[in-house]
Structure 1
Amino acid sequence: MSDRIGNCRIVGEIGSGGMAVVYKAVQEPLGRTVAIKALKPSIAMDSQFAKRFEREAHFMASLQHENILHVVDFVKDGRSMYIIMEYVEGIDLYDLLEHSPQLPPEVASIIALQVCRALDYAHFRGIIHRDIKPANIMISKQGEVKLMDFGIARDETLSDLTETGTGLGTPSYMSPEQILGDKLDFRSDLFSVGIVLYQMVTGNKPFVEDEARTVMQKIRLDRYVSPRKLNPSVPRQLERILGRCMEKMPANRYPTTQALIDDLMEFLSPRVPMNYSARLVMYLRDVGLMTDNEADELLAAGAPRNVRRGTKDKRLVSHATWMSLLLFAGVVGGGGVIQAAAGRLGADREDFGAQAGKPVVPERAGYLRVVVDPWSDVYIDGQKVVTTPTAQAIALTPGLHYLKFSNPYYQELQREVRIRTGETELVDVTLEPLHVLEGEGEGDGEGEE
């Protein structure tokens, strides 16, 4: 392998697949990092694989969307072909699921939503992906979701590169009509999205081969296990979205990709009242795929402009610091008054030292992180401190603190937490709705234990 391809200098190999190798490279005139997908030397230039490879380059070059991997250039030198693409620093969904097999429902839904936005853009242009699976979905460290690998995509206005009766794709993620080799439309991709979403929230594929049936037979003939049986925390609203995506008959699925996007947006709106990319960054940090410093730097960039620019004025920083200390002292002092009214200040000093109204001393401080599904106002010792979701680590004095989680549409929840010097406590809670939707409390067969 040459150390140069076109105007790009090869840095190293990223990965290898059945017919291509992917390299990391630097496009020297611009000094930017790119990824190069190179057709393997063993693939003949006049083969169907080579034609499919070149068609992928044309497809991806024609699709300019934030959720689709961008093609920078295409090089054909007589010996091989090379697709030069943007380089995404992050992890693909396949590897993420290997690391964390079950994702929080709102994180899984954000990923599915971004994939659907990419598909809606492609579907409007008559292009069907036909190979939606975790390995073809990239999640960047900036919280971006990118759909990759249009190698077997089909343009409805062009001839297909497969013969009638053959089904290209990955069996576990195929639609029933794709398995049968029927003519496909955008609804085949929606079935595959449903399978990926199911896998993200349950940690299992909905259709798995066994001694009785192959995976393709199960997709065509069998009903999948209810996701709530595998993970009771999956909301029923999301279960219904999954069910409609994975209807056996295309006519029973969503009528448009936009309709699926609308349902995912409706599901996410009350649960993630923040930038969706920021929520993905927070998740990557929480599972150890990003450092706190990497995540905090990105999340801080989304703060209000006056906060970001405040560091340029040293006096403003000084004033803000003193105001923060005074405000926090007021919060702690107010908490102390509430505790006194409740008769708690007569308790053991070690237990209730945190409520004595003293400012937090950095050398003795402990920290609290809160994760709430879907979201809430967080009260600490009677004072509202933050609204979730938040990446903030809250500094507290050592001792026992009283937490209250309040959301007008959910039942109020209270917790106690003991803070220790130099340690970070994580409190992760799920709120219960005030009113259960009609019929949800009754047994519905498959979805109930």
Structure 2
Amino acid sequence: MENPPRDHDLVIYGATGFVGELIAAYLATHAPAGLRIGLAGRSTARLEAVRSRLPAAAHAWPLIEADSGDTGSITALAERTRVLFTTVGPYAKYGLPVVEACARAGTHYGDLTGEVSFVREAIDRCDALARSSGARIVHSCGYDSVPSDLAVLLLHQAAEADGAGALTEVQLVATAKGGISGGTLDSMRVQVDGMRSSAALRSLIADPYALSPDRVREPATPQPADAGPVSRSGDGLWTAPFIMAAANTRIVRRSNALQDWAYGRSLRYGEVMGVARGPAGAVIAGATALGLGVFAGAMTFPVTRRLLDRVLPAPGTGPSAGTRRKGWFRSQVTALTEGGHRYRAVAAGPGDPGYAATAVMAGETALALALDGDRLPRVSGSLTPATALGDVLVQRLRAAGHTYEVARLA
């Protein structure tokens, strides 16, 4: 039996969620006329409410009722769109049926996950399906992990063009201003609960090559700890552990392996959070590291978890419009090559990184999948932003006002 016709070019699944509505609003402003965009979620009434708040260009967009718990509705949704971008999390609870439906239907897929265990399971269950159907399954298309993944790709390209040798020591220093949403916290809860109950999951999360396409072939190169000690960089900036490092570093290492370790088999890649300079910076970095440790511990134990749940944002809520507007991010990545040369890449942009800036990253990812197929790398299967979209996404994000630049230092 032939597949039904594709009624939509692009569907945002989870459009009634906090980030889903932000992405829909971005597309309503930036998608070209004629692109057939739909909004999907569990409730038509809630979808109608969201659509009414969007710019006028979205007011005729069709609404699709679908639930990841209903295999038939998700299958029908995947079969009738060319690209599906989902914000429905926690992905470990709701995401796998969506990935599988897209992989079977040959539908390109994007998400915002930072859940390593979910990505691993999606790879194991759906990579072969997607490669056979031609679907591009692209995980982590927001602040997790677009700036990290594209910045390292640019470093590799610059070093390769100069004949400077493979990358060896690479470190990202993240600085940002923004807030946090209830949905992000809900994903964190699911991951913490899974690790608490499963030794196998704890082992997976601890593996720096957890997302490798071929774990046996990975080099024995030791990787920096995700929660390394407080330290001071060469320019005097004090750094602390970066909460997103555990996800981002594994995406970057998967990108390397998917390209036959083109970045270098001796690549050591780590991420930290930049805090401040001078004596005050040391104090703030220490306090930040301590606070992250206390928060992680509090999320682990039921009694303290219940106390946190009373004060933290609930699912479906997030930073105010003012907070999102005033936010920003800057990821500076320095690299040393086998030839002894040094490079620096910068990925930066305006807006709260997890929300306003992520809406740009996700929106441009979705548009690239929908419109730029002839310019994208000729690959399918379970991919990363760098391997699925590469320079096309870099160009789109630059045009959208984000910075992606690389320079040789020595």
TM (normalized to structure 1)? 0.25
| Larger helix fraction of residues | 2
Q: Using CA pairs below 8 Å that are at least 6 residues apart, which structure has the higher relative contact order?
A: 2
Larger Rg: 1
